[in-house]
Protein backbone atom coordinates (compact mmCIF):
# COMPACT_ATOMS: atom_id res chain seq x y z
CA UNK A 1 0.00 0.00 0.00
CA UNK A 2 1.23 3.51 -0.80
CA UNK A 3 2.07 6.03 1.88
CA UNK A 4 1.07 9.66 1.47
CA UNK A 5 2.86 12.95 1.99
CA UNK A 6 0.52 15.95 1.98
CA UNK A 7 2.08 19.35 1.40
CA UNK A 8 0.21 22.50 2.38
CA UNK A 9 1.25 26.13 2.21
CA UNK A 10 0.87 28.95 4.67
CA UNK A 11 1.35 32.72 4.94
CA UNK A 12 1.56 33.58 1.22
CA UNK A 13 1.46 31.78 -2.12
CA UNK A 14 4.42 31.57 -4.54
CA UNK A 15 6.95 30.62 -1.83
CA UNK A 16 8.08 27.63 -3.86
CA UNK A 17 5.75 24.93 -2.54
CA UNK A 18 5.78 23.23 -5.94
CA UNK A 19 9.59 23.17 -6.09
CA UNK A 20 9.62 21.86 -2.51
CA UNK A 21 7.19 19.05 -3.40
CA UNK A 22 9.28 18.22 -6.49
CA UNK A 23 12.48 18.28 -4.41
CA UNK A 24 11.00 15.88 -1.85
CA UNK A 25 10.37 13.60 -4.83
CA UNK A 26 14.03 13.94 -5.82
CA UNK A 27 15.36 13.05 -2.38
CA UNK A 28 13.06 10.06 -2.02
CA UNK A 29 13.92 8.85 -5.52
CA UNK A 30 17.61 9.19 -4.66
CA UNK A 31 16.92 6.50 -2.01
CA UNK A 32 15.37 4.22 -4.65
CA UNK A 33 11.91 4.89 -3.20
CA UNK A 34 9.30 4.96 -5.97
CA UNK A 35 7.20 8.13 -5.96
CA UNK A 36 4.29 9.67 -7.77
CA UNK A 37 3.00 13.21 -7.45
CA UNK A 38 -0.34 14.97 -7.58
CA UNK A 39 -1.28 18.65 -7.52
CA UNK A 40 -4.65 19.72 -6.14
CA UNK A 41 -5.86 23.02 -7.56
CA UNK A 42 -8.79 24.48 -5.65
CA UNK A 43 -10.11 26.70 -8.49
CA UNK A 44 -13.38 25.81 -10.23
CA UNK A 45 -11.98 25.54 -13.77
CA UNK A 46 -11.90 21.92 -14.89
CA UNK A 47 -8.32 22.50 -16.03
CA UNK A 48 -6.12 25.54 -16.66
CA UNK A 49 -6.40 25.07 -20.46
CA UNK A 50 -8.80 27.97 -20.92
CA UNK A 51 -7.02 30.35 -18.54
CA UNK A 52 -4.93 33.29 -19.66
CA UNK A 53 -1.18 32.82 -19.11
CA UNK A 54 -1.33 36.10 -17.17
CA UNK A 55 -3.62 34.39 -14.64
CA UNK A 56 -1.94 31.08 -14.44
CA UNK A 57 1.49 31.05 -16.08
CA UNK A 58 2.34 28.21 -18.42
CA UNK A 59 -0.09 25.38 -19.09
CA UNK A 60 1.92 22.17 -18.88
CA UNK A 61 0.81 19.30 -21.14
CA UNK A 62 1.25 15.66 -20.12
CA UNK A 63 1.98 12.91 -22.63
CA UNK A 64 -1.60 11.66 -22.36
CA UNK A 65 -2.87 15.11 -23.30
CA UNK A 66 -3.97 16.72 -20.02
CA UNK A 67 -3.61 20.50 -19.74
CA UNK A 68 -2.21 20.97 -16.26
CA UNK A 69 -0.58 23.24 -13.73
CA UNK A 70 3.02 24.26 -14.36
CA UNK A 71 4.07 22.53 -11.14
CA UNK A 72 3.70 19.24 -13.01
CA UNK A 73 6.57 20.40 -15.21
CA UNK A 74 8.72 20.80 -12.12
CA UNK A 75 7.70 17.36 -10.86
CA UNK A 76 8.64 15.81 -14.21
CA UNK A 77 11.98 17.61 -14.34
CA UNK A 78 12.91 16.93 -10.72
CA UNK A 79 11.77 13.31 -10.51
CA UNK A 80 12.39 12.41 -14.17
CA UNK A 81 8.99 10.76 -14.68
CA UNK A 82 6.25 11.24 -17.24
CA UNK A 83 3.08 12.04 -15.35
CA UNK A 84 -0.49 11.58 -16.53
CA UNK A 85 -3.85 13.33 -16.22
CA UNK A 86 -4.36 11.78 -12.76
CA UNK A 87 -1.61 14.04 -11.40
CA UNK A 88 -3.65 17.23 -11.55
CA UNK A 89 -6.98 17.46 -9.76
CA UNK A 90 -9.09 20.63 -9.66
CA UNK A 91 -12.27 21.52 -7.77
CA UNK A 92 -13.90 21.83 -11.20
CA UNK A 93 -13.15 18.14 -11.93
CA UNK A 94 -14.33 17.05 -8.49
CA UNK A 95 -17.63 18.92 -8.58
CA UNK A 96 -18.32 17.85 -12.22
CA UNK A 97 -17.79 14.21 -11.22
CA UNK A 98 -20.01 14.47 -8.13
CA UNK A 99 -22.80 16.21 -10.05
CA UNK A 100 -22.58 13.68 -12.91
CA UNK A 101 -22.96 10.86 -10.35
CA UNK A 102 -25.94 12.62 -8.78
CA UNK A 103 -27.63 12.98 -12.20
CA UNK A 104 -26.98 9.32 -12.93
CA UNK A 105 -28.73 8.44 -9.70
CA UNK A 106 -25.72 7.00 -7.91
CA UNK A 107 -26.74 8.69 -4.65
CA UNK A 108 -30.52 8.17 -4.99
CA UNK A 109 -32.31 9.28 -1.87
CA UNK A 110 -29.32 11.14 -0.46
CA UNK A 111 -28.60 14.83 0.03
CA UNK A 112 -25.32 15.59 -1.72
CA UNK A 113 -22.91 17.41 0.56
CA UNK A 114 -19.33 18.65 0.63
CA UNK A 115 -18.69 16.12 3.42
CA UNK A 116 -18.81 13.23 2.58
CA UNK A 117 -19.55 13.32 -1.17
CA UNK A 118 -17.05 15.91 -2.34
CA UNK A 119 -14.37 14.78 0.12
CA UNK A 120 -14.90 11.13 -0.88
CA UNK A 121 -14.46 12.05 -4.54
CA UNK A 122 -11.20 13.84 -3.65
CA UNK A 123 -9.89 10.87 -1.65
CA UNK A 124 -10.87 8.63 -4.54
CA UNK A 125 -8.40 10.59 -6.72
CA UNK A 126 -5.58 10.05 -4.21
CA UNK A 127 -6.23 6.34 -4.12
CA UNK A 128 -6.63 6.07 -7.89
CA UNK A 129 -3.17 7.59 -8.44
CA UNK A 130 -1.66 5.33 -5.74
CA UNK A 131 -3.28 2.30 -7.36
CA UNK A 132 -2.27 3.21 -10.89
CA UNK A 133 1.30 4.27 -10.12
CA UNK A 134 1.97 1.58 -7.48
CA UNK A 135 4.36 4.13 -5.97
CA UNK A 136 5.65 3.55 -2.46
CA UNK A 137 5.05 7.20 -1.67
CA UNK A 138 2.49 9.52 -3.25
CA UNK A 139 3.30 13.20 -2.76
CA UNK A 140 0.23 15.42 -2.87
CA UNK A 141 0.53 19.20 -2.99
CA UNK A 142 -2.50 21.28 -2.04
CA UNK A 143 -2.52 24.48 -4.13
CA UNK A 144 -3.12 27.87 -2.52
CA UNK A 145 -2.66 28.59 1.18
CA UNK A 146 -4.51 27.34 4.25
CA UNK A 147 -7.51 29.52 4.95
CA UNK A 148 -8.57 29.87 1.29
CA UNK A 149 -12.30 29.20 0.99
CA UNK A 150 -11.93 26.98 -2.10
CA UNK A 151 -9.27 24.86 -0.42
CA UNK A 152 -11.42 23.72 2.53
CA UNK A 153 -12.77 20.46 1.01
CA UNK A 154 -9.24 19.44 0.00
CA UNK A 155 -7.89 20.07 3.51
CA UNK A 156 -10.80 18.14 5.04
CA UNK A 157 -10.07 15.25 2.65
CA UNK A 158 -6.38 15.11 3.55
CA UNK A 159 -7.31 15.29 7.25
CA UNK A 160 -9.56 12.24 6.85
CA UNK A 161 -6.79 10.29 5.14
CA UNK A 162 -4.89 9.87 8.41
CA UNK A 163 -7.76 7.83 9.82
CA UNK A 164 -8.51 6.06 6.53
CA UNK A 165 -5.03 4.68 5.85
CA UNK A 166 -3.42 4.83 9.30
CA UNK A 167 -1.17 7.26 11.10
CA UNK A 168 2.09 5.64 10.00
CA UNK A 169 1.12 6.01 6.37
CA UNK A 170 0.46 9.75 6.27
CA UNK A 171 2.76 12.72 6.72
CA UNK A 172 1.79 16.40 6.73
CA UNK A 173 4.38 18.94 5.64
CA UNK A 174 3.60 22.64 5.89
CA UNK A 175 5.62 25.16 3.85
CA UNK A 176 5.61 28.72 5.18
CA UNK A 177 7.39 32.01 4.72
CA UNK A 178 9.34 33.84 7.41
CA UNK A 179 9.11 37.52 6.48
CA UNK A 180 12.07 39.78 7.26
CA UNK A 181 11.50 43.14 8.90
CA UNK A 182 14.15 45.63 7.87
CA UNK A 183 13.30 48.05 10.70
CA UNK A 184 14.13 45.50 13.42
CA UNK A 185 16.37 43.36 11.18
CA UNK A 186 14.71 40.10 12.17
CA UNK A 187 12.74 37.22 10.73
CA UNK A 188 9.20 36.93 12.06
CA UNK A 189 7.60 33.62 13.03
CA UNK A 190 4.13 34.90 13.90
CA UNK A 191 2.57 34.37 10.42
CA UNK A 192 3.84 30.75 10.56
CA UNK A 193 2.26 30.28 14.00
CA UNK A 194 -1.02 31.65 12.64
CA UNK A 195 -1.07 29.41 9.59
CA UNK A 196 -0.26 26.36 11.72
CA UNK A 197 -3.13 27.37 14.05
CA UNK A 198 -5.40 27.54 11.02
CA UNK A 199 -4.34 24.00 10.05
CA UNK A 200 -4.89 22.74 13.58
CA UNK A 201 -8.33 24.34 13.68
CA UNK A 202 -9.38 21.90 10.97
CA UNK A 203 -7.64 19.01 12.67
CA UNK A 204 -4.27 18.79 10.93
CA UNK A 205 -1.12 18.92 13.04
CA UNK A 206 1.87 19.29 10.70
CA UNK A 207 4.68 16.77 11.22
CA UNK A 208 7.27 18.90 9.46
CA UNK A 209 7.45 22.65 8.81
CA UNK A 210 9.62 23.93 5.98
CA UNK A 211 10.48 27.59 6.45
CA UNK A 212 11.22 29.65 3.36
CA UNK A 213 13.19 32.78 3.89
CA UNK A 214 15.45 35.20 2.04
CA UNK A 215 17.76 35.30 5.07
CA UNK A 216 19.57 32.67 7.16
CA UNK A 217 17.39 31.12 9.87
CA UNK A 218 18.95 31.00 13.34
CA UNK A 219 18.70 28.19 15.89
CA UNK A 220 16.61 30.53 18.04
CA UNK A 221 14.01 30.89 15.32
CA UNK A 222 13.89 27.11 14.87
CA UNK A 223 13.42 26.66 18.62
CA UNK A 224 10.61 29.17 18.66
CA UNK A 225 8.73 27.56 15.76
CA UNK A 226 9.26 24.13 17.27
CA UNK A 227 7.84 25.27 20.60
CA UNK A 228 4.89 27.31 19.36
CA UNK A 229 3.86 24.93 16.60
CA UNK A 230 4.49 21.74 18.58
CA UNK A 231 6.85 20.21 16.01
CA UNK A 232 10.19 18.48 16.79
CA UNK A 233 13.07 20.88 16.40
CA UNK A 234 14.73 18.74 13.73
CA UNK A 235 11.41 18.80 11.88
CA UNK A 236 11.64 22.58 11.45
CA UNK A 237 13.56 22.70 8.19
CA UNK A 238 15.04 26.01 7.01
CA UNK A 239 14.93 26.63 3.26
CA UNK A 240 16.67 29.91 2.44
CA UNK A 241 16.44 31.27 -1.09
CA UNK A 242 19.05 29.66 -3.34
CA UNK A 243 20.50 30.77 -6.66
CA UNK A 244 19.10 27.84 -8.68
CA UNK A 245 15.91 25.85 -8.06
CA UNK A 246 17.89 22.66 -8.68
CA UNK A 247 19.75 23.25 -5.42
CA UNK A 248 16.61 22.83 -3.29
CA UNK A 249 16.80 19.00 -3.02
CA UNK A 250 20.41 19.31 -1.83
CA UNK A 251 19.52 21.90 0.83
CA UNK A 252 16.62 19.79 2.11
CA UNK A 253 18.74 16.63 2.19
CA UNK A 254 21.50 18.50 4.01
CA UNK A 255 18.96 19.54 6.66
CA UNK A 256 18.05 15.89 7.18
CA UNK A 257 14.61 15.94 5.54
CA UNK A 258 15.13 12.66 3.64
CA UNK A 259 15.98 10.70 6.79
CA UNK A 260 13.18 12.37 8.72
CA UNK A 261 10.61 11.28 6.11
CA UNK A 262 12.02 7.73 6.09
CA UNK A 263 11.75 7.60 9.90
CA UNK A 264 8.33 9.17 10.20
CA UNK A 265 6.78 7.01 7.49
CA UNK A 266 8.69 3.90 8.66
CA UNK A 267 10.11 3.38 5.18
CA UNK A 268 12.92 0.89 4.66
CA UNK A 269 16.24 2.74 5.15
CA UNK A 270 18.22 2.78 1.93
CA UNK A 271 21.41 4.39 0.61
CA UNK A 272 21.06 7.88 -0.80
CA UNK A 273 22.74 8.82 -4.05
CA UNK A 274 22.41 12.45 -5.02
CA UNK A 275 25.77 12.57 -6.83
CA UNK A 276 24.31 13.38 -10.27
CA UNK A 277 22.24 16.13 -8.74
CA UNK A 278 25.29 17.49 -6.89
CA UNK A 279 27.24 17.52 -10.13
CA UNK A 280 24.40 19.35 -11.90
CA UNK A 281 24.29 22.06 -9.23
CA UNK A 282 28.08 22.38 -9.19
CA UNK A 283 28.05 23.04 -12.96
CA UNK A 284 25.11 25.43 -12.68
CA UNK A 285 26.89 27.52 -10.06
CA UNK A 286 30.13 27.85 -11.98
CA UNK A 287 30.54 31.01 -14.03
CA UNK A 288 29.79 30.11 -17.66
CA UNK A 289 30.05 32.15 -20.83
CA UNK A 290 26.55 33.27 -21.83
CA UNK A 291 24.72 32.73 -25.12
CA UNK A 292 22.33 35.60 -25.92
CA UNK A 293 18.93 34.21 -26.79
CA UNK A 294 15.98 36.47 -27.61
CA UNK A 295 12.63 35.05 -26.54
CA UNK A 296 9.99 36.86 -28.57
CA UNK A 297 6.59 36.41 -26.99
CA UNK A 298 3.39 38.19 -26.10
CA UNK A 299 3.20 37.24 -22.41
CA UNK A 300 6.75 38.22 -21.44
CA UNK A 301 5.57 40.42 -18.54
CA UNK A 302 4.86 37.19 -16.68
CA UNK A 303 7.97 35.04 -16.99
CA UNK A 304 6.14 31.96 -15.63
CA UNK A 305 4.22 31.85 -18.93
CA UNK A 306 7.35 30.36 -20.48
CA UNK A 307 8.57 28.26 -17.53
CA UNK A 308 9.40 25.07 -19.45
CA UNK A 309 10.95 27.00 -22.37
CA UNK A 310 13.28 28.76 -19.95
CA UNK A 311 14.23 25.51 -18.26
CA UNK A 312 14.79 23.75 -21.59
CA UNK A 313 17.11 26.57 -22.69
CA UNK A 314 19.02 26.30 -19.41
CA UNK A 315 19.42 22.50 -19.80
CA UNK A 316 20.63 22.92 -23.39
CA UNK A 317 23.14 25.63 -22.48
CA UNK A 318 24.49 23.55 -19.62
CA UNK A 319 25.20 20.75 -22.09
CA UNK A 320 27.83 23.04 -23.67
CA UNK A 321 28.89 24.43 -20.30
CA UNK A 322 27.29 27.73 -21.27
CA UNK A 323 24.81 30.01 -19.57
CA UNK A 324 21.72 31.61 -21.13
CA UNK A 325 21.43 35.35 -21.26
CA UNK A 326 17.73 35.55 -22.02
CA UNK A 327 16.65 38.72 -23.79
CA UNK A 328 12.92 39.09 -23.19
CA UNK A 329 11.37 40.78 -26.22
CA UNK A 330 7.74 41.77 -26.15
CA UNK A 331 6.43 41.09 -29.64
CA UNK A 332 4.31 44.26 -29.55
CA UNK A 333 7.47 46.29 -28.89
CA UNK A 334 8.98 44.74 -32.03
CA UNK A 335 6.02 46.05 -34.02
CA UNK A 336 6.83 49.56 -32.77
CA UNK A 337 10.57 49.70 -32.39
CA UNK A 338 11.85 47.50 -35.22
CA UNK A 339 13.95 44.39 -35.21
CA UNK A 340 17.49 45.74 -35.27
CA UNK A 341 16.99 47.75 -32.09
CA UNK A 342 15.71 44.80 -30.07
CA UNK A 343 17.41 41.80 -31.67
CA UNK A 344 20.84 43.25 -32.39
CA UNK A 345 22.67 41.18 -29.80
CA UNK A 346 20.65 37.95 -30.19
CA UNK A 347 22.72 34.92 -31.18
CA UNK A 348 19.51 32.90 -31.46
CA UNK A 349 15.81 33.72 -31.58
CA UNK A 350 13.05 31.63 -30.09
CA UNK A 351 9.33 32.19 -30.70
CA UNK A 352 7.28 30.09 -28.26
CA UNK A 353 3.59 29.15 -28.17
CA UNK A 354 0.66 31.51 -27.83
CA UNK A 355 -2.90 32.27 -28.85
CA UNK A 356 -4.66 35.18 -30.55
CA UNK A 357 -3.68 37.95 -32.94
CA UNK A 358 -2.09 40.41 -30.49
CA UNK A 359 1.64 40.76 -31.12
CA UNK A 360 1.70 38.41 -34.11
CA UNK A 361 3.17 40.93 -36.59
CA UNK A 362 6.08 41.50 -34.18
CA UNK A 363 6.80 37.77 -34.09
CA UNK A 364 6.68 37.67 -37.90
CA UNK A 365 9.26 40.48 -37.93
CA UNK A 366 11.47 38.40 -35.64
CA UNK A 367 11.22 35.41 -38.02
CA UNK A 368 12.03 37.65 -40.97
CA UNK A 369 15.04 39.09 -39.12
CA UNK A 370 16.28 35.56 -38.32
CA UNK A 371 15.90 34.44 -41.93
CA UNK A 372 17.54 37.50 -43.48
CA UNK A 373 20.41 37.70 -41.00
CA UNK A 374 21.03 33.94 -40.75
CA UNK A 375 20.33 33.94 -37.02
CA UNK A 376 19.36 30.50 -35.61
CA UNK A 377 15.62 30.30 -34.98
CA UNK A 378 13.53 27.83 -33.04
CA UNK A 379 9.74 28.06 -33.44
CA UNK A 380 7.49 26.25 -31.00
CA UNK A 381 3.92 25.68 -32.17
CA UNK A 382 2.81 29.30 -32.69
CA UNK A 383 6.48 29.94 -33.51
CA UNK A 384 6.12 27.50 -36.41
CA UNK A 385 2.96 29.22 -37.66
CA UNK A 386 4.85 32.52 -37.57
CA UNK A 387 7.79 31.07 -39.50
CA UNK A 388 5.48 29.62 -42.17
CA UNK A 389 3.52 32.90 -42.56
CA UNK A 390 6.73 34.90 -42.85
CA UNK A 391 8.24 32.54 -45.41
CA UNK A 392 5.01 32.51 -47.45
CA UNK A 393 4.97 36.32 -47.49
CA UNK A 394 8.53 36.28 -48.80
CA UNK A 395 7.91 33.48 -51.34
CA UNK A 396 4.71 35.02 -52.68
CA UNK A 397 5.95 38.61 -52.49
CA UNK A 398 2.78 39.58 -50.64
CA UNK A 399 1.86 40.77 -47.17
CA UNK A 400 -1.38 38.78 -47.28
CA UNK A 401 -0.44 35.20 -46.27
CA UNK A 402 -1.64 34.50 -42.75
CA UNK A 403 -3.16 31.98 -40.38
CA UNK A 404 -6.96 31.94 -40.29
CA UNK A 405 -6.56 32.32 -36.52
CA UNK A 406 -5.47 35.93 -37.14
CA UNK A 407 -7.14 36.78 -40.46
CA UNK A 408 -10.12 34.63 -41.39
CA UNK A 409 -10.43 36.14 -44.88
CA UNK A 410 -6.79 35.90 -46.01
CA UNK A 411 -6.43 34.81 -49.67
CA UNK A 412 -3.41 32.70 -48.60
CA UNK A 413 -4.41 30.70 -45.49
CA UNK A 414 -1.06 28.94 -45.03
CA UNK A 415 -2.09 27.91 -41.51
CA UNK A 416 -5.70 26.89 -41.03
CA UNK A 417 -8.13 24.82 -39.01
CA UNK A 418 -8.34 21.19 -39.98
CA UNK A 419 -11.83 20.26 -41.21
CA UNK A 420 -12.35 18.06 -38.10
CA UNK A 421 -11.66 21.04 -35.81
CA UNK A 422 -14.15 23.37 -37.56
CA UNK A 423 -17.31 22.01 -35.99
CA UNK A 424 -15.96 22.14 -32.43
CA UNK A 425 -17.58 24.87 -30.38
CA UNK A 426 -16.43 24.11 -26.83
CA UNK A 427 -13.12 25.72 -25.98
CA UNK A 428 -12.03 23.51 -23.06
CA UNK A 429 -9.97 20.39 -23.74
CA UNK A 430 -10.78 20.29 -27.46
CA UNK A 431 -7.39 21.06 -29.00
CA UNK A 432 -5.07 18.46 -30.47
CA UNK A 433 -3.46 17.47 -27.19
CA UNK A 434 -0.68 15.22 -25.98
CA UNK A 435 1.69 12.81 -27.69
CA UNK A 436 1.54 12.18 -31.42
CA UNK A 437 4.12 10.42 -33.61
CA UNK A 438 6.33 12.30 -36.03
CA UNK A 439 8.40 10.74 -38.81
CA UNK A 440 11.64 12.61 -39.48
CA UNK A 441 13.34 13.06 -42.83
CA UNK A 442 16.89 11.71 -43.04
CA UNK A 443 19.63 14.30 -43.26
CA UNK A 444 17.45 17.16 -41.97
CA UNK A 445 18.44 19.33 -38.99
CA UNK A 446 15.60 17.76 -37.03
CA UNK A 447 16.63 14.16 -37.78
CA UNK A 448 20.27 15.02 -37.04
CA UNK A 449 19.26 16.49 -33.68
CA UNK A 450 17.15 13.53 -32.59
CA UNK A 451 19.40 10.86 -34.13
CA UNK A 452 16.18 8.95 -34.64
CA UNK A 453 13.52 8.66 -37.33
CA UNK A 454 10.31 8.25 -35.35
CA UNK A 455 9.66 10.46 -32.32
CA UNK A 456 6.66 11.22 -30.09
CA UNK A 457 6.05 14.76 -28.93
CA UNK A 458 3.41 16.67 -26.98
CA UNK A 459 0.93 18.89 -28.81
CA UNK A 460 -1.47 21.66 -27.81
CA UNK A 461 -2.98 23.48 -30.78
CA UNK A 462 -5.93 23.79 -33.14
CA UNK A 463 -4.34 25.21 -36.27
CA UNK A 464 -2.15 23.30 -38.75
CA UNK A 465 -0.03 23.76 -41.83
CA UNK A 466 -2.26 23.97 -44.94
CA UNK A 467 -1.11 21.31 -47.42
CA UNK A 468 -2.34 23.33 -50.40
CA UNK A 469 0.79 25.45 -49.98
CA UNK A 470 3.25 22.59 -49.50
CA UNK A 471 4.67 22.55 -53.03
CA UNK A 472 4.84 26.29 -53.42
CA UNK A 473 6.81 26.80 -50.22
CA UNK A 474 8.98 23.76 -50.88
CA UNK A 475 10.05 25.22 -54.23
CA UNK A 476 11.05 28.41 -52.41
CA UNK A 477 13.28 26.47 -49.98
CA UNK A 478 11.16 25.11 -47.16
CA UNK A 479 11.91 21.56 -46.05
CA UNK A 480 9.24 19.44 -44.35
CA UNK A 481 11.53 17.54 -42.06
CA UNK A 482 8.88 15.96 -39.82
CA UNK A 483 5.49 14.61 -40.86
CA UNK A 484 2.76 12.58 -39.19
CA UNK A 485 3.32 8.92 -40.20
CA UNK A 486 0.39 9.12 -42.67
CA UNK A 487 2.12 12.12 -44.29
CA UNK A 488 -0.92 14.35 -43.75
CA UNK A 489 0.34 16.79 -41.13
CA UNK A 490 3.49 18.89 -41.18
CA UNK A 491 5.09 18.46 -37.75
CA UNK A 492 8.52 20.03 -38.35
CA UNK A 493 9.70 22.44 -41.02
CA UNK A 494 13.04 24.08 -41.66
CA UNK A 495 14.75 26.25 -44.25
CA UNK A 496 17.22 24.84 -46.76
CA UNK A 497 19.33 27.97 -47.21
CA UNK A 498 19.78 28.94 -43.61
CA UNK A 499 22.22 27.75 -40.90
CA UNK A 500 19.43 26.56 -38.58
CA UNK A 501 15.85 27.76 -38.83
CA UNK A 502 13.70 24.96 -37.45
CA UNK A 503 10.12 24.97 -36.19
CA UNK A 504 7.87 22.32 -34.79
CA UNK A 505 4.12 22.00 -34.38
CA UNK A 506 4.64 20.42 -30.97
CA UNK A 507 6.13 21.54 -27.64
CA UNK A 508 9.58 19.98 -27.15
CA UNK A 509 10.14 22.15 -24.05
CA UNK A 510 7.94 19.82 -21.98
CA UNK A 511 10.27 16.87 -22.58
CA UNK A 512 13.55 18.52 -21.55
CA UNK A 513 15.21 17.45 -18.31
CA UNK A 514 18.27 18.71 -16.46
CA UNK A 515 21.08 16.46 -17.65
CA UNK A 516 19.02 15.40 -20.73
CA UNK A 517 18.42 18.52 -22.82
CA UNK A 518 15.84 18.17 -25.56
CA UNK A 519 17.67 17.50 -28.88
CA UNK A 520 16.09 20.47 -30.70
CA UNK A 521 16.97 22.88 -27.89
CA UNK A 522 20.45 21.37 -27.65
CA UNK A 523 21.20 21.87 -31.34
CA UNK A 524 19.59 25.31 -31.36
CA UNK A 525 22.02 26.42 -28.63
CA UNK A 526 24.84 24.48 -30.32
CA UNK A 527 24.57 26.63 -33.46
CA UNK A 528 23.62 29.85 -31.66
CA UNK A 529 26.73 29.82 -29.49
CA UNK A 530 28.88 30.05 -32.62
CA UNK A 531 27.13 33.17 -33.90
CA UNK A 532 28.97 36.41 -33.24
CA UNK A 533 26.81 39.45 -32.57
CA UNK A 534 27.35 42.94 -31.34
CA UNK A 535 28.38 42.81 -27.70
CA UNK A 536 28.95 39.06 -27.82
CA UNK A 537 32.45 39.02 -29.27
CA UNK A 538 34.92 37.00 -27.24
CA UNK A 539 37.45 39.18 -25.36
CA UNK A 540 40.68 39.90 -27.29
CA UNK A 541 43.59 37.76 -26.20
CA UNK A 542 46.32 39.78 -24.43
CA UNK A 543 49.27 40.43 -26.75
N1 LIG B 1 -2.67 29.42 -31.45
C2 LIG B 1 -2.13 28.32 -32.16
C3 LIG B 1 -3.11 27.17 -32.32
O4 LIG B 1 -4.09 27.10 -31.64
C5 LIG B 1 -0.82 27.85 -31.53
C6 LIG B 1 -1.02 27.23 -30.19
C7 LIG B 1 0.27 27.09 -29.40
O8 LIG B 1 1.25 27.78 -29.66
N9 LIG B 1 0.27 26.22 -28.43
O10 LIG B 1 -2.93 26.30 -33.13
Ligand 1 centroid to Cα of residue 381, in Å, is 6
Residue 109's pLDDT is: 87
Mutation pick for ligand 1 pocket among 297, 354, 379, 406 (CB with most ligand atoms within 8 Å): 354
In angstroms, rounded to a whole number, what is the distance separating the alpha carbons of residues 129 and 126?
Answer: 5
Q: Are 381 and 503 in contact (CB under 8 A)?
A: no
In Å, how far are 295, 336, 394, 416 from 405, measured between CA atoms? Answer: 22, 22, 20, 7
Distance CA 364, CA 204 (A): 53
Check if 344 has its Cβ closer than 6 Å to any atom of ligand 1: no
Q: What is the pLDDT of residue 537?
A: 57
Taking CA atoms only, the protein residue closest to ligand 1 atom 1 is 355
> Would you call 343 exposed, middle or buried from its count of C-beta atoms within 10 A (0-12, 13-18, 19+)?
buried
Residue 432 Cβ contacting ligand 1 at under 6 Å: no
Ligand 1, atom 8, lies closest to the CA of 353
Closest CA to ligand 1's atom 7: 353
Check pocket membership of 354 for ligand 1, CB cut-off 6 A: yes
Question: Residue 538's pLDDT is what?
Answer: 56
pLDDT in tens, the chain (543 residues): 899 999 999 878 778 899 999 999 999 999 999 999 999 999 999 988 888 888 888 999 999 999 999 999 999 999 999 999 999 999 999 999 999 999 999 998 889 999 999 999 999 999 999 999 999 999 999 999 998 999 999 999 999 999 999 999 999 999 999 999 989 888 888 999 999 999 999 999 999 999 999 999 999 999 999 999 999 999 999 999 999 999 999 999 999 999 999 999 999 988 999 999 999 999 999 999 999 999 999 999 888 899 999 999 999 999 999 999 999 999 999 988 888 889 999 999 999 999 999 999 999 999 999 999 999 999 999 999 999 999 999 999 999 999 999 999 999 999 999 877 788 888 888 889 999 999 999 999 999 999 999 999 999 999 999 999 999 999 999 999 999 999 999 999 999 999 999 999 999 999 999 999 999 999 999 999 999 887 655 555 555
CA of 460 to the centre of ligand 1 (A): 7
d(CA 441, CA 226): 61
| pLDDT score of 434 | 96
Which of 67, 360, 381 is the pocket-test mutation for ligand 1 (most atoms within 8 Å of CB)?
381
Alpha carbon nearest to ligand 1 atom 5, residue: 382
- Centre of ligand 1 to C-alpha 531, Å, is 29
Report the catalytic residues. 381, 507, 509
> What ligand 1 atom has the least distance to the C-alpha of 464?
10
- 376 C-alpha to ligand 1 centroid (Å): 22
* pLDDT attached to residue 126: 97
Cis amide prior to 226 (ω within 30 degrees): no
Amino acid sequence: MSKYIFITGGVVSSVGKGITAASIGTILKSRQITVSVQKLDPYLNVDPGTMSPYQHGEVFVTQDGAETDLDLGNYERFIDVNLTAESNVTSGQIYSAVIAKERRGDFLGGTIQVVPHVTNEIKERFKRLAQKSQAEVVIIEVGGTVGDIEGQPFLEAIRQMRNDVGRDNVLYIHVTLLPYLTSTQELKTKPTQHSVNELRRIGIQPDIIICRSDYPISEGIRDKISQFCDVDKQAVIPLPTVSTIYEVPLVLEEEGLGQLIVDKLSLKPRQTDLSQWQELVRCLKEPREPVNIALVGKYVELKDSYFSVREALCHAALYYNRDINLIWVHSEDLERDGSEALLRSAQGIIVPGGFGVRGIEGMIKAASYARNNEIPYLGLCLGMHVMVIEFARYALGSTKPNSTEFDSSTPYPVIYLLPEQREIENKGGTMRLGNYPCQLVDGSHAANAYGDSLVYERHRHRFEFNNEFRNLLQEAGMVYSGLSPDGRLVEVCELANHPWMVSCQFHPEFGSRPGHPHPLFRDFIGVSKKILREGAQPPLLPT
